Amino acid sequence: MDDVARYRKRWKSLCSERSSWESHWRELSEHILPRHSRLSGDTPNDGRKRSSKIINSAATKALRVLSAGMMSGLTSPARPWFRLTLPDASLAEQGPVREWLDAVERHMATALAKSNVYNILHGVYRDLGLIGTAPFRVEPDDEDGLRAYAMPVGQYALANSARLAIDTTYRELSMTVGQLVEQFGKNACSGPVRDMYERGDVDHWVKVMHVIEPNRDMQPGRADAAGMPWRSVWFEASSNEDRFLSIGGAHENPVMAPRWDLAGEDVYGSSPAMDALGDVKGLQLLERRKLQTVDKIVTPPMVGPQSLQHNRVSLLPGDTTYLPDNAAGARFEPAMKVEPNAVQVIELSIQNHKERIDSAFFADLWLMLAASDRRQITAREVAERHEEKMLQLGPVLERLQDELLDPLVDRCFGILLRGGQLP
């Protein structure tokens, strides 16, 4: 029999396992994309300024190019990116079967375009480039058929199966009192939440836990959650009551958790941003040095006779600073001379850092067509260049095929089939 205490204990264990990654993730977020994490216990709608460590935004722009390129290359809404088939290839190519598969593909493409899945996928590619791990979940939706939900880094903790595939997702998120009552009903909520709802305090944020894991007590043949291979439970993290908001199930794992690259049995992946972090931090230092150098050229530190200590001095163009009569030979002049070409030297180093950052994020690869000459090229040449881009990301694409694309298509197909939305 499940109880909330077991899930609380597992959550603490998974957070402890995750803790060695958190400082690295925080550093990546602070230097590249500071508004897309929950690493410091941030609440939703926290509008405080967080970009104080970013002077040159080259890495942020390179990550933006990477996510847009992955979106266009892998799951573009503008063209078909998946094709259904059967394990028996000869059967799949028989006329009526192929017609049915084609019809299902069209229905699925329409459902995906109608839902918010593509919006979430863009963020998934962004998080893959930044953090290296980008889980999200897809659920049935009464309005659009499908609904995807993002999981910011810091909100989730994951665990692997024996096959080293993500099969357990714990996440702590914030929901308002109004959202809790809307989703689970007032009677399922704790006493404090019910009291706040009755007082009209529906916008108060409440910490909630959501767990998705294999249903190891599955009872085959049952039509309810007990007969499904995946368990999905909700409870209030901030409540002392041993009660669930809901206990449900799923026919497929609702969570897709793609990872950019892995080392052995690691749960969390590495990312291009991890490779570029040294250059990103060096770039910010160089920008500061450049600004300091320009300041020294335009408004240099000055030296002058001690007699000027309590007198008015000026560095304004056309203005005059008067020296005392007894200060013969004393001069009011710059304390140091900075050569103007020093700025050019720093600019060259900055450019080198930006090129290495673009290379780490494959931005130079994705912008290959845009950076090419303006002459007209054939559709064949466009296709060949696209293939060339994809080949350079071969190992990453193989992993995404296994951890993102195949599970996403299977999940969407299952939801639409059970919802009676397929022919």
Helix (H, G, I), strand (E, B) or coil at 347: helix
The span from the CA of 282 to the CA of 278, in Å, is 6
Tell me, what's the pLDDT at 215? Answer: 94
Q: Which pLDDT does position 130 carry in this prediction?
A: 96
**Is residue 370 within 8 Å of 321, Cβ to Cβ?**
no
Within 10 angstroms of residue 210's Cβ, the number of other Cβ atoms is 24
Both structure tokens of 293:
């150098």
Say which residue the tokens 């979106």 belong to: 71
List, for residues 220-245, the tens digit of each pLDDT value.
888 888 899 999 999 999 888 889 99
- Give the CA count within 13 Å in the CB-facing half-sphere of 382: 7
* 374 — pLDDT class (breaks 50, 70, 90): very low
In this prediction, residues 372-393 reach a mean pLDDT of 64
Would residue 154 be called left, alpha or beta, if left means φ above 0 and alpha means ψ between -120 and 50 degrees? Answer: left
Q: What is the mean pLDDT of residues 31-44?
A: 80
Give the Cα separation of 120 and 148 in Å (integer). Answer: 7
| pLDDT tens-digit map of 273-287 | 999 999 999 999 999
pLDDT value for 97:
93
Mean pLDDT of 346-352: 92
Give, to the nearest 10 degrees, the angle between helix 191-199 and helix 177-184. Answer: 110
* Statement: the pTM of the whole predicted model exceeds 0.85: yes
